[in-house]
Structure 1
């Protein structure tokens, strides 16, 4: 069949027109696809920034509620916290976060700016992302365990070898790292570490990267100058089946309680220049008292010794049961399975509390608080922290217990 040259020319023209039309249609279609992808990306970025301020508001509210929170930079912490959640967005989104405490709670807001279409002409100046969240504390949760290690001590709180802490309704905090190992467990209302909590057995999950909690008693004067300059070299030994009562005073000699003996500490302030040791099946008992240990003073309970101590109900040391001076670097060791009552606050800012015997410690106390440089649990030991503050005649010192602590949190908006 023969085709005319005119027909061929007409068909080539139609094909050319189709190509031109298709090309012209492809441009807006491509723009629509690109714009759709950009809008999806923008929506994802907004969601990420909203999640970041939500988390930061909760973290900031929690930090602000901890003892001494007003003196710490909770706002700066929350701002850095939010930014750290979305650092991967930084190449394409310029972001700024601000945090503040308001009458409605703890607020974190964020503003992000990213490039828009046609050289930031649509919309003019680029896309602006604005997000905000407010968190509030629902109920106060007391601070009951605080480890205060300095930078040279990497782990402030450790539990190993099937040992455990049971502090169901209060805060357990370490100013450095926290460690569990070999089936150890820590159960509390809130668990947090300035550094990292490693291991398993945390319930609920531990919060890492928390702000440092200041020593709530850093301004207290503990040491009695000069009272331990002259020491008595003859120890006080209470042994056999004997029972002895000891008045509150400055004790300048070693005190050893052993066998089946009982030492009753009378109410008041007992200041120990040297060691107080309880061994065998001996008993140490006392109510309305505080045990203060000077630089060379130490406390240890071993074997099957029974310990029952109730803190001061009044005076300068109301609410405290065991205290050590700031130059006391020795261990306060509990290696007995019969330490039933330590009602009050244990405050040893430069010493280590070591609990390393199978059995429960402080379980019969209405409440307890431990503030120490380091806290170590081992060998199936179980530290029980109760929070029945109202049911005790021993007042809670300001800065710990139900006088301070983070509560349950929620986002308001």
Structure 2
């Protein structure tokens, strides 16, 4: 009996039972507070994003209050808010067009809770306001003029399009007007699609703004240069790869086969060494090159300043050919006038400082057949300073090493910009770092957007 009286084992259970409601209350309250604070942080992030996207519309010409509000509401309705965990929101948008200012007020009921939503302030709706201001305009480095098709701007496989200091504008109304897939990445100060965008969040930085207004062709009023009589016809400099293969009969069969098929990796240079051929330097003058201009293996072509009219044939730089020129421009006229920079070609070009094509590196005839493709496959095209104006065609980039990364600036106005494989196209915006002018409508047409506390 005495032992039973002294046994206190049951006291622990009693004490635990007494304290359990208190423990549950504190632990439940901690969970509630964590969820409430997390909800508040996400709501703030969403408000910041919406305000910033709205203010970016002021970086475009003639943005209106209606347009800004439509863009923000479209983002919400597209499921963006639901992705943040807010399927239902009360939204108030205020737009000051004179100041370029957008305020977004969001209100959401508190998340379900165990305890805290029975107490103030946790039982009240969450209210967050963010304000973004557009200062100036923006730098534009890509304008894709395609109006309906998929992939007006596209990057596939392992492509990288890096335009951190400027904006990418796509006019396609397609739901896949902008495409970034696989391990590709498109980075820009602003990515603006008149339609939709295909790809995941990790494929973009930032994710494209959708349903943007049409961005007019900024070079539509630039006059094309006059075309005179032919200065050269079917011009070819250097050796074609077939000639090199024939001269290198003592080189191993496998190496010859690899070079003849156009494989890179230095195999052509090995083939050249075996052929006993040497490089020849040529200096060309501006003029009309009827039938195109071909720069083959072992040709180092240096261009004097001026305009080169490539008529009724391609500008072709073959394997290990070299093409360089300062203050030069190419006018592509005729059905077959495209350009092709092959693997292992060495390219270094800067646009004119003055004259009718000042700031323009390539100008495609506006009457050219639609949807032609111009290729940059070169692993050594580091300097492409100026503007590519290909209003009827596609600029296709598929190289292994960075393209245009050593240029002060590169701008692209084309029907489409297509990247595939492993290229890295770098579009710099150091406009003060060169005396080559930037054509009106691209380059520094504006500046920045910032959040204001």
Please confirm whether the aligned pair reaches a TM-score higher than 0.5, indicating the same fold: yes
1:273/1:106 CA distance change after superposition, 3 Å: same
The match for 1:344 is 386
Cα deviation, 1:186-216, whole Å, max 9, x if unaligned, reads 1222223222222134342313322222211
The match for 1:42 is none
The number of residues matched between the two structures is 336
Structure 1 residues without counterparts, runs of 5 or longer: 1-48, 111-130
Which residue among 37, 45, 67 is the counterpart of 1:77? 67
The match for 1:124 is none
Structure 2 residues without counterparts, runs of 5 or longer: 1-42, 80-88, 106-127, 240-278
CA apart distance, 1:278: 0.4
1:56/1:159 CA distance change after superposition, 3 Å: closer
Q: Does 1:64 align with 2:58?
A: yes
1:340/1:84 CA distance change after superposition, 3 Å: closer
Mapped contact 1:312–1:320 kept (Cα < 8 A): yes
Which residue among 410, 414, 439 is the counterpart of 1:397? 439
TM-score (norm 2): 0.66
Q: How does 1:4-403 map to 2 (within 5 A)?
A: 57-65=51-59, 69-71=60-62, 73-84=63-74, 99-103=95-99, 105-107=100-102, 135-138=132-135, 141-151=138-148, 153-176=149-172, 177-200=177-200, 201-209=202-210, 210-222=212-224, 224=226, 227=227, 234-240=233-239, 241-274=279-312, 275-296=314-335, 297-328=337-368, 329=370, 330-401=372-443, 403=444
Cα deviation, 1:34-75, whole Å, max 9, x if unaligned, reads xxxxxxxxxxxxxxx99999766533431221xxx324x443
The match for 1:38 is none
How many Å separate the matches in 1 of 2:145 and 2:104? 32
TM-score (norm 1): 0.71
Mapped contact 1:223–1:294 kept (Cα < 8 A): no
1:307/1:51 CA distance change after superposition, 3 Å: closer
CA apart distance, 1:286: 0.5
SS at the partner of 1:214? Answer: coil
CA apart distance, 1:359: 1.6
How many Å separate the matches in 2 of 1:171 and 1:303? 29
How many Å separate the matches in 2 of 1:232 and 1:287? 21
RMSD: 3.4
Structure of higher CA gyration radius = 1
CA apart distance, 1:80: 2.0
Mapped contact 2:225–2:356 kept (Cα < 8 A): no
1:55/1:385 CA distance change after superposition, 3 Å: closer
